[in-house]
């Protein structure tokens, strides 16, 4: 993989440049990182990693999810370059430039690679879609819209409030 910036992903053997993200993308991601990161650290659950960081899923798929989580019991996949194998959770925040890739190609690869759960966050629609990938691509996602909250199964006892996640800066 070329060293960035610019950053690249390898999706089904195709080298794809990753463009810079909009302010609302980074704002939502920062708030989610803070909320989950504090919880993961307090409970010693594993490693929460902010992208860009390479996730080597196989020879033709090297992704840079916006955020990913690796449980302590799966730490063996963590390497200096990122991770080699499937994280337990991947989070993709939608942007106009990555909408189709995140919803289609990447989701399929994550599922077949063994990622347990994928969250797709849509700042424009103000919603989070939680996909239980271990149940297959046909499994219905849990869709959480503002102003609702949810408690992720991967983080028992944590509640994520969409009103705080999507709260405008001004």
Say what the pLDDT of residue 58 is. 96
Residue 82 included in any domain: yes
Q: Assign residue 133 the CATH number of its domain.
A: 3.90.1570.10
Residue 72 included in any domain: yes
Residue 7 included in any domain: no
Distances (CA, A) of 170 to 2, 164, 166, 167: 37, 13, 12, 9
Residue 2 included in any domain: no
Domains held by the chain: number = 1
Say what the pLDDT of residue 104 is. 78
Return d(Cα 38, Cα 98) in angstroms, integer. 28
Residue 3 included in any domain: no
Residue 15 included in any domain: no
Residue 5 included in any domain: no
Residue 23's CB is within 10 A of a number of other CB atoms, namely 9
Expressed as residue numbers, the domain containing 82 is 22-165
Q: Tens digit of pLDDT per residue, the chain (170 long)?
A: 556 556 666 788 876 666 656 677 789 999 999 999 999 999 999 999 999 899 999 999 999 999 999 999 999 999 999 999 999 999 999 887 666 777 778 999 999 999 999 999 999 899 999 999 999 989 999 999 999 999 999 999 999 999 999 988 65
């Amino acid at each position: 993989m070329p060293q960035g910036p610019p950053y690249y992903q390898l999706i089904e053997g195709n080298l794809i440049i990753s463009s810079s993200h909009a302010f609302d993308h980074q704002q939502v991601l920062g708030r989610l990182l803070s909320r989950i990161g504090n919880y993961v650290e307090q409970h010693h659950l594993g490693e929460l990693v902010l992208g860009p960081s390479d996730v080597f899923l196989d020879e033709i798929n090297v992704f840079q999810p916006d955020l990913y989580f690796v449980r302590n019991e799966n730490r063996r996949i963590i390497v200096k370059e990122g991770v080699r194998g499937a994280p337990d959770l991947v989070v993709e925040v939608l942007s106009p430039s990555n909408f189709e890739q995140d919803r289609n190609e990447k989701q399929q690869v994550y599922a077949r690679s063994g990622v347990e759960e994928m969250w797709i966050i849509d700042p424009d629609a103000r919603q989070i879609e939680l996909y239980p990938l271990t149940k297959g691509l046909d499994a219905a996602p849990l869709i959480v819209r503002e102003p609702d909250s949810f408690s992720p199964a991967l983080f028992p006892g944590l509640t994520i409030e969409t009103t705080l996640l999507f709260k405008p800066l001004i």
